[in-house]
Amino acid sequence: MNQKSIKALLGMKADQQDIVVKGWVRTKRESKTFSFLEINDGSCLSNLQVIFDQNIPEYANLTVKLTTGTSVKVEGRLVSSQGGGQSVELQATLIAIYGLADPETYPLQKKRHSFEFLRDIAHLRPRTNTISAVLRVRNALSMAIHHFFQERGFVYIHTPIITSSDCEGSGEMFQVTTLPMDKVPLNAGKVDYTRDFFGKRTGLTVSGQLEGEICALALGDIYTFGPTFRAEHSNTARHLAEFWMVEPEMAFCDIAQNMDVAEAFLKYIFAYVLEHCQEDMAFFNHWVDKTVIRTLEHISQEKFERITYTEAVKKLAAAKIEFEFPVAWGKDLQSEHEKYLTEQVYKKPVMITDYPKTSKAFYMKMNADDKTVRALDVLVPRLGEIIGGSERENDYEQLLNRIKSLNLNPADYHWYLDLRRYGSVPHAGFGLGFERLVQFVTGMQNIRDVIPFPRTHGSAAF
Ligand code: 4AD
Ligand code: MG
């Protein structure tokens, strides 16, 4: 028989075809002589309605056993539906059960569960409407990212997960070691890393950028898209310890061109998801945030605002509201400031450049004022920072000075400095936090609910 996904079936005509569908029971309604099942197989948000009556084998038995969560195979004919809500339904001739789901203990019953509750059952939550929709949208967003870069000739590079360089220099690296924890070898009172697996201290990457730069300075335009790790202690709705990052890096590119790419990139992705995920997006717009579709449509059209950090500070200083964190030139912009700028002042994405050197990483290009660097942050309403990037320091002496002044060891960066000694070119890039993107697109409040298995401080279950 003809096995179909529910997504395919719902697009078909009711032509009495014999069909096989496999999935999980969402609900059952029964009467003495016939019953309805709603089956979902994850191929789309919609369920397939199955109608079955006393003519099928084991009718009485089935009506008892087919509870929410039971996995089934249904054979039947596709007919047009009498009820509202769907155009076709399956008239079952046979229903076989793969696995029961005891209604006494199965945690997902037909009601709304809180996201907190669902996080504790991350092994079952992909079977809910919200999380399955999130996972389908994640899939579409990943494809949109590859399409965008591939259409423009960028080369997809795989940067290492284990590395010895802390790109952001913020000391948030998870350590990777095979040294025995209960008997760490010492040399003059310090850990002897020469005896560790790699002969030096290593950790999980916080960013693929530095290796991305190596490849951009040979291949032109490249991008990475992989997992990154940060030992984040901040317990917020937008930080994970393991998240995915998309990082393009472009040779012969300055900060202005970098901004153009970032803006075109986000707009492309938003348009893509509106076109390819209509059913799931309608779901988010109805149940999660009634403004998501309107916001994405609006942003795909609008020119992003472009201001400097200094201008941003002026706007914030002039604000009529009281911030929790004080505003002053030289201080980091906090999430409340970022939200104020995007939500109250400009009401659209804002690109902020030229931050004080003290608040940014060592690799960013110094401006002529010797106080600011060519950093770029892209802020969006509701979330704040979604992209962080910069033009890179391409001058050998400047970079060496910067490394020294931050008390970093130039020997550790010899290869990075070499890129500035041999055939150096202006280059720039940025990193998009993939989960922040999923949050923004779906309207989901908490970053833990847009990744199947969140890792946060104190939590790495499943
Ligand atoms: O601003 P960040 O730290 O920039 C970099 O890592 C650069 N090396 C990128 C580059 O230029 N190639 O991080 C980039 C983005 C942030 O804007 C944010 O969206 C996301 O990564 N991000 C996180 N997402 C989830 N959880 C965390 N703990 C995150 N930290 C950063
Ligand atoms: Mg940043």
User: What is the residue with the minimal CA distance to atom 19 of ligand 1?
Assistant: 433
- The alpha carbon of 230 and the centre of ligand 1 are apart by a number of angstroms equal to 10
End-to-end CA distance of the chain: 37
CA of 210, nearest ligand number: 1
The answer to whether the beta carbons of residues 390 and 363 sit under 8 Å apart is yes
The verdict on residue 181 lying in a domain is no
Q: Is residue 175 part of a domain?
A: no
Per-residue pLDDT, 169: 84
Q: Domain check: are 75 and 11 in the same one?
A: yes
Q: Which residues line ligand 1 (CB under 6 A)?
A: 167-168, 207, 209, 230, 232, 239-240, 243, 245, 247, 385-390, 429-431, 433, 435-436
Burial of 434 from C-beta contacts in 10 A (0-12 / 13-18 / 19+)? buried
* Judgement on whether residues 139 and 238 belong to the same structural domain of the protein: yes
The answer to whether the beta carbons of residues 363 and 393 sit under 8 Å apart is: yes
89 and 224 together in one domain: no
40: enclosing H helix or E strand = strand 34-40
Q: Which atom of ligand 1 is nearest to the CA of 239?
A: 26
What would the pLDDT profile of 19-68 be if each residue is shown by its tens digit?
999 999 999 998 778 999 999 999 999 999 999 999 999 999 999 999 99
Among 209, 243, 446, say which to mutate for ligand 1: greatest number of ligand atoms within 8 Å of CB.
243
Final residue in a domain of this structure, among 82, 99, 116: 99
Ligand 1 atom 1: the closest Cα is on which residue?
A: 388
Residues 317 and 378 in one domain: yes
Residue 15 predicted with pLDDT over 90: no
CATH of the domain at 42: 2.40.50.140
Does residue 320 sit within a domain?
Answer: yes
Query: Is 386 within the bounds of a domain?
Result: yes
State the Cα–Cα distance between residues 187 and 184, nearest whole angstrom.
10
pLDDT digits (tens, 9 = 90+) for 173-200: 999 999 999 999 999 999 999 999 999 9
Which ligand 1 atom is the nearest neighbour of the CA of 378? 17
Average pLDDT (384-400) is 97
Looking at ligand 1, which atom is closest to the CA of residue 245?
21
pLDDT of residue 170: 82
Q: pTM of the entire structure?
A: 0.97
Q: What percent of the chain has pLDDT over 70?
A: 100
In a domain, 105, yes or no: no
Q: Which ligand is nearest to the CA of 432?
A: 1
| The pLDDT of residue 318 | 94
Q: Which domain holds residue 82?
A: 2-99
Question: 365 pLDDT band (50/70/90 cuts)?
Answer: very high
Which-ligand-closest: CA of 255? 1
86 phi/psi in degrees, rounded to 5 = -145, 155
Together in a domain, 86 and 222: no
| Minimum-distance ligand 1 atom for the alpha carbon of 430 | 11
